[in-house]
Amino acid sequence: READDSIMAHRHAFTRCGVRISVYSNIDFKEEIEHLDSMGAEGVGLFRTENLFLDDLKPPKEAAQQEYYRKMGEMLAPKPLVIRLFDIGGDKLIYSPVKEPNPNLGWRGVRILIDVPEILDAQLQAVIRANIHGNIDVLIPMISSVEEIMHIKQAVEEHYKHIRSLTTEPLDKPGIGAMIEVPAAVELIDEITQIVDFVSIGTNDLTQYTLAVDRNNLIVQDLFEKFHPAVIRQLHRVISTAQKNHCRVSLCGDMGSDPLATPYLIGCGLREFSIVSSDIPALKAMVGKYTVEECEALAAECLKLSSASAIKAHLEAFVKAH
Ligand code: PEP
Ligand code: MG
């Protein structure tokens, strides 16, 4: 298995019919970058920056962030690095000074970034100044409206202009992406994919918010079902609408590592996955078993089914037959 893994790691992934599938890694700390080559990651599709709060639960200073992101960009170049803006609050790091009755529906992600400009400004300046290799993009967490995206886009624009006027360094403007992880963002996907450079689907939160099931509550863990038809249909809608609008789309939720999901997602048109690095060799091997045509027929069948158990049974039969 280890030998197989190392061979797979260094190959690009192609479906059996020759369509290229890109596989990136999700990471929590820059130290993980050292291991990404051996796992076959084509870059970082999600860096969860909220982990930088862990040391003293305070926003890290701009200079410290700049150095951190610059090193990451350097270690990865020319491979891409997607830096997700701080997704604090909710079930992650509680930033709110007041105890929220329902933090998952409270002050979280982009809402905090908009309300506390010092945090947003420091992070955007750090990211822009770090982008000396031109391989860094930013990803906005917890988007539920077009206005939130426009707010961050405008802030990037202003900081970029200002920083460019101060330096002779060849700094590229980072691309801007939106996390699609709240049902409102799915509903607005046509508009969203016309104003961003890329979208990334967060199936962990999308499942939580679509089904009204807390992702960390053991009492309802059996109801946390990413193959629920409501989730499955949203994935198809997001991926196909992004394609129609020529907007890059990737998926960075844990679902990307589930072998049952692979052929369905490819059938919906997904060509970019971002997953935990240890799962990359297995995903690359899995991709090679299917043709796009088979996956498209599978996805069309799944979209007609109205229960998670029927969808999973269908996917299991397909995976077993290959
Ligand atoms: C997600 O919600 O699926 C996601 C990738 O983000 P996180 O797990 O960090 O909330
Ligand atoms: Mg999320």
The response to whether 190 counts as a known ligand-binding position is no
What is the β-pairing status of strands 198-201 and 248-251?
parallel
Predicted confidence at residue 61, as pLDDT, reads: 94
pLDDT at residue 163 tops 60: yes
Please, what is the Cα angle at 150 between 148 and 156, to 5 degrees?
A: 110
pLDDT at residue 3 is higher than 60: no
Instruction: Quote the ipTM score.
Output: 0.99
How many A from CA of 26 to the centre of ligand 1? 10
Is residue 204 marked as binding?
Answer: yes
Cα 272 to middle of ligand 2, angstroms? 17
Mean pLDDT of the chain: 95
Under the banding of pLDDT at 50, 70 and 90, the label for residue 2 is low
Q: Whose CA is nearest to atom 1 of ligand 1?
A: 202
Q: What is the pLDDT of residues 283-318, one digit of tens each?
A: 999 999 999 999 999 999 999 999 999 999 999 999
Type of residue numbered 78: P
Instruction: List pLDDT tens digits, range 10-31.
Output: 679 999 999 999 999 999 999 9
Q: Which pLDDT band, with edges at 50, 70 and 90, does 5 fall under?
A: low
The pTM score is 0.96
Is 5 marked as binding a ligand? no
If you take atom 9 of ligand 1, which residue's CA is the nearest one? 48
Catalogue the active-site residues. 252
Question: Is the Cβ–Cβ distance between 81 and 73 less than 8 Å?
Answer: yes
Give 33-92 pLDDT, tens digit per residue.
999 999 999 999 999 999 988 777 778 999 999 999 999 999 999 999 999 999 998 877
User: CB under 6 Å to ligand 1: residues?
Assistant: 48, 87, 181, 202-205, 252-253
Burial environment of residue 53 by CB neighbours within 10 A (0 to 12, 13 to 18, 19 or more): middle
